[in-house]
Amino acid sequence: MNARHDLPASSPALGADAAWASLAEAQSAEALCRAWLAVLCSLVPDAQVGLLLLQDAGGSYVPAAAWPEGTELARLADIARECLGTRQGVRRQHAGHPVQLAYPLAAGNALHGAVVLELLDPSPEAGRLTHWGAGWMADLFAQRELGQARQRLDESAFLFEVSLAALAEPDFRQAGLTLVNKLAARFGCHQVQLALADGPALETAAVSHSAWFDERANLTSLARAAMTEAFDQRCAVVWPEDEAAGSADQRTLRMAHGRYAADSGRLALASQPLAIGAAPPFAVLLIERNTVFQPAELKGMELLAGVLAPVLEHKHARDESLARHARRSLRHLAARLTDASHPGLKLGAGVLALFLLFAALLPVDHRVSSPAIVEGAVQRSAVVPFDGFLREAPARAGDTVKAGQVLARMEDRDLQLEKVRWETELEMAQRKEREAMAQADRVNQRLSAAQANQARAQLDLTLSKLARVELVAPFDAIVVKGDLSQQLGAPLEMGKTLFELAPLASWRVMLKIDERDIARVQPGQGGELVLTGAPGQRWHFTLKSVTPVSVVEEGRNYFRAEAELVGQDGVKLKPNMEGVAKVVVGERSLLWVWTHRFTDWLRLALWQWTP
């Protein structure tokens, strides 16, 4: 078998004993990975090259260790990619080349990486040892995940405990004191302080292990200045500065923290602002102790601030006065209106505000709407002239009649007989009067003359009734009311209305004005009428009069108003046509026209409710 000249010697750079010692003494993850790979390669017979791939924070798999160090690893990329893709062990052997062996590092459903070895002379023992080594590393990852899960569970339990303890207190002061005491015990702190925002400044609200503190004391002022430093920058501030921190953390100001640390003698300070979402901080925690804060502790403080911020804000809001709560709500509303959240909603609100402003400045005609009905300008009734019977009635409601056209005819047979009777009585009385005159009998002459006058009067009355047997139309009109076609031969009483007639070319409009609008309606105002039967046409009218008497319809009071149509020539209408009339009562803004009903109701309700 031809060996490649670029492969290192079979003896490893680190012996087995040295590799085990390095593994036992590893102080970092990088050292552990290098030592573990060296131990594995020293145990596997004929191992020439070793590579350990682990998953980084971005989800990619990168080399964590190589054995021997400085070895060119490009030739192992294909088998490593195949092993990670299939999540199974892979073995490759080509003539004239070393054997490549790859095994995944999987714990449960998580794939943490892979180990790749290159062997000169593979053996079954090499596979078993590689499997053992990968299992040991996977178990190490599982133990680390278990530890992290336990730590998260412990942190969650503490967050739950401290939140419940704060919520159980009766007021904000007691809740803040409980909070700082528990934080001091949790992080092993000498002192924990809580400051509450009061406008642009901070006020100390609670100090751990202390029921009372002097706000004018020098250390209290310095601590408040340190918390203000974090409050103004809206970020956590840690003292002393971590040299391994990023550039953003290095730009954080810490001068106030340095002054407080120098005067108080504390070796480590951490100020954590408390804020809800993207809102400005409303409180700051200052944690003091004599040991440097670890990154995991700082991360836990950040999580703790996110959980405790709503709890403290809720407790503080309950203790606020009404005026203070109103001011804070207005500031919060102003901040929400000016931030970048909900751009679509704010754009819509802005457009609505501009539209309302435009409506408030745009003057329009204020028109009062009311139901309307068309009636004839003059309505004439055709009544029964005397007691009798109906003989015929050719006209009925809706018919158009000419002047003099017969509407109905009364039965005249009795009148004709009565006419003959009174004519006979008159002739007899006149003959008796002549005979008495010839005999010079003045008493019988006067008696006969009186009887003749009585008969003549009765005859005239009968002739008058006969002249009124036919009811005729007094003018060209339309029959508005009356249909006697089913009452022929029926008895009729004198004075009973048989027909109502309206002229064809003269109309009036009767409006029913709601009492809420009656104060604005005056005679002489103009308007427009749209009828239900002709919605596409408008008729102009002028208001003539408003009656002072109201009628109740559908639970509301209405006043009747009479209007005259303008330019009635050629207008083709029919009586009792209904529609909607709008009377122009003045000029108002468009917004007032839309809202005056509500504002009028509100004024009346306030007047009714106020004592």
How many DSSP H helices and E strands does the chain contain? 14, 24
Q: Which span out of 67-76, 123-132, 557-566 was modeled with the highest average pLDDT?
A: 557-566
Span of 96-105, 451-460, 583-592 with lowest mean pLDDT: 96-105
pLDDT of residue 368: 92
Residue 235 vs residues 211, 253, 381, 502: alpha-carbon distances, Å = 28, 10, 94, 89
What is the number of other CB atoms lying within 10 angstroms of the CB of residue 72? 9
* Residue 100 in this model has a pLDDT that exceeds 60: yes
111's enclosing H/E stretch is strand 110-119
Q: Where are the beta strands (DSSP E) in 261-413?
A: 268-274, 283-289, 363-376, 380-383, 388-392, 400-401, 406-410
Span of 123-137, 291-305, 464-478 with lowest mean pLDDT: 123-137
* Residue 222 in this model has a pLDDT that exceeds 80: yes
> DSSP assignment, residue 58?
T
Residue 50 CA to residue 33 CA, distance in Å, equals 11
Secondary structure (DSSP) of 179-216: HHHHHHHHHT-SEEEEEEEETTEEEEEEETTBS---TT
Tens-digit pLDDT profile for residues 53-84: 787 777 788 887 787 877 777 778 888 888 88
* Residue 375 in this model has a pLDDT that exceeds 60: yes
Q: What is the mean pLDDT of the chain?
A: 80
The CATH architecture to which 169-243+253-325 belongs is 2-Layer Sandwich (3.30)
pLDDT of residue 8: 37
pLDDT of residue 214: 67
Helix (H, G, I), strand (E, B) or coil at 341: coil
Class for the domain spanning 16-148: alpha beta
pTM more than 0.75: no
pLDDT of residue 6: 37
The predicted model gives 100-114 an average pLDDT of: 78
pLDDT of residue 202: 85
Going from N- to C-terminal start, the domains of the chain cover: 16-148, 169-243+253-325, 380-499, 506-609
Residues 541 and 527: beta-carbon distance below 8 Å: yes
* Residue 207 in this model has a pLDDT that exceeds 80: yes
Helix (H, G, I), strand (E, B) or coil at 581: strand
Peptide bond into 122 cis (omega under 30): no
Residues 536 and 515: beta-carbon distance below 8 Å: no
* Residue 524 in this model has a pLDDT that exceeds 80: yes
Q: Identify which of 513, 169, 214, 177 has the alpha carbon closest to the alpha carbon of residue 369.
A: 513
CATH number, domain 506-609, options 4.10.520.10, 3.40.50.80, 2.40.30.170, 3.30.70.20: 2.40.30.170
Span of 25-34, 46-55, 328-337, 586-595 with lowest mean pLDDT: 25-34
What is the number of other CB atoms lying within 10 angstroms of the CB of residue 269? 25
Residue 42 CA to residue 550 CA, distance in Å, equals 113
